[in-house]
Amino acid sequence: MSKNTKNILSIGVVVLMLAVLYICIFAFGLSPRLGLDLKGGISIVYEAKGKTVDTGVLDKTVEKIRSRIDRLGVSEPEITRQGTRNVVVQLPGIHDPQRAKQIIGQTAQLQFRLVQESKSLSDAKKDPAWQETKGDANLQPDKVVILPLKEAKDSVMLKLGPTLLSGDSIKKATPSVDSSGNPTVNFELSGDGAKKFSDITTANVNKQLAIVLDYKVESAPNIKEAITEGKGDISGSFTEQQAKDLAIVLQTGALPVELKPLQEQDVTASLGRDSLHQGLIAGIAGLIVVALFMLLYYRVLGAITCLGLIVFGGLMYGFISVFGDFWSLTLAGIAGVIVAIGIAADSSIVYFERLKEDLKDGRTIRSSTDKAYKSAFRTILAADTVSFAAAAILYLFAIGSVKGFAFTLGMATILDVFISYFFTRPVTSLLSNWKFLSRPAAVGLRADDIVPAGSEAR
Residue range 197-235, pLDDT digits in tens: 899 989 998 899 888 877 778 778 888 888 888 887 777
Is residue 370's pLDDT more than 70?
A: yes
Looking at residue 138, its pLDDT comes to: 53
Is residue 142's pLDDT more than 80?
A: yes
Is residue 137's pLDDT more than 50?
A: no
Backbone angles phi, psi at 339, to 5 degrees: -60, -35
Question: What is the residue-averaged pLDDT of the chain?
Answer: 83
Task: Average the pLDDT over each of 86-90, 98-102, 237-241, 453-457 and give the range with the smallest value.
Answer: 453-457
Return all residues near 349 (Cβ < 8 A) that are at least 6 apart. Answer: none
Q: How confident is the model at residue 254 (pLDDT cuts 50, 70, 90)?
A: low
- Across the range 281-296, mean pLDDT stands at 86
Task: Average the pLDDT over each of 6-10, 17-21, 105-109, 124-128 and give the range with the smallest value.
Answer: 105-109
The class of domain 41-54+65-105 in CATH terms is: alpha beta
Q: How confident is the model at residue 457 (pLDDT cuts 50, 70, 90)?
A: very low
Is residue 136's pLDDT more than 80?
A: no
Q: What is the DSSP secondary structure assignment for residue 208, as one 8-state letter? A: B
Looking at residue 135, its pLDDT comes to: 61
Return all residues near 210 (Cβ < 8 A) that are at least 6 apart. Answer: 112, 113, 114, 115, 147, 149, 158, 160, 217, 219, 220
Is residue 191's pLDDT more than 90?
A: no
Looking at residue 193, its pLDDT comes to: 86
Q: CA 409 → CA 332, 333, 337, distances in Å?
A: 10, 8, 7
Which CATH code of 3.90.1170.50, 1.20.1640.10, 3.30.365.10, 1.10.10.60 fits the domain covering 3-35+269-449? Answer: 1.20.1640.10
Is residue 270's pLDDT more than 70?
A: no
Above pLDDT 90, what percent of the chain?
23
Q: At what angle do helices 365-397 and 331-360 cross, to 10 degrees?
A: 150
Q: How confident is the model at residue 268 (pLDDT cuts 50, 70, 90)?
A: confident
- Across the range 128-136, mean pLDDT stands at 79
Is residue 185's pLDDT more than 60?
A: yes
Looking at residue 86, its pLDDT comes to: 87
Is residue 422's pLDDT more than 90?
A: yes
Looking at residue 392, its pLDDT comes to: 92
Above pLDDT 70, what percent of the chain?
89
Looking at residue 399, its pLDDT comes to: 63
Is residue 95's pLDDT more than 50?
A: yes
pLDDT in tens, 292-314: 998 999 889 999 999 999 999 89
Looking at residue 152, its pLDDT comes to: 52
Q: What angle is formed at CA 445 by the lines to CA 443 and CA 450, rounded to 5 degrees?
A: 120
Among the listed residues 438, 445, 444, the one whose alpha carbon sits nearest the alpha carbon of residue 299: 444
Is residue 458's pLDDT more than 50?
A: no
- The stretches of 361-446 forming alpha helices (DSSP H) are 365-397, 401-419, 425-431
Is residue 262's pLDDT more than 70?
A: yes
Domain boundaries, the chain: 3-35+269-449, 41-54+65-105, 110-254
Q: Which residue has the higher pLDDT, 91 or 327?
A: 91
Is residue 267's pLDDT more than 80?
A: no
Backbone angles phi, psi at 442, to 5 degrees: -70, -20
Is residue 437's pLDDT more than 80?
A: no
- Across the range 244-250, mean pLDDT stands at 74
Q: Which residue has the higher pLDDT, 256 or 413?
A: 413
Which CATH code of 3.30.1360.200, 3.10.50.40, 2.120.10.30, 3.40.50.300 fits the domain covering 110-254? Answer: 3.30.1360.200
Gap between the Cα atoms of 248 and 72, Å rounded: 8
- Across the range 385-414, mean pLDDT stands at 86
Q: How confident is the model at residue 75 (pLDDT cuts 50, 70, 90)?
A: low
CB atoms within 10 A of CB 400: 15
Is residue 68's pLDDT more than 60?
A: yes
Tell me the range of 115-124, 127-136, 147-156 where mean pLDDT is highest. Answer: 115-124
Return all residues near 134 (Cβ < 8 A) that are at least 6 apart. Answer: none
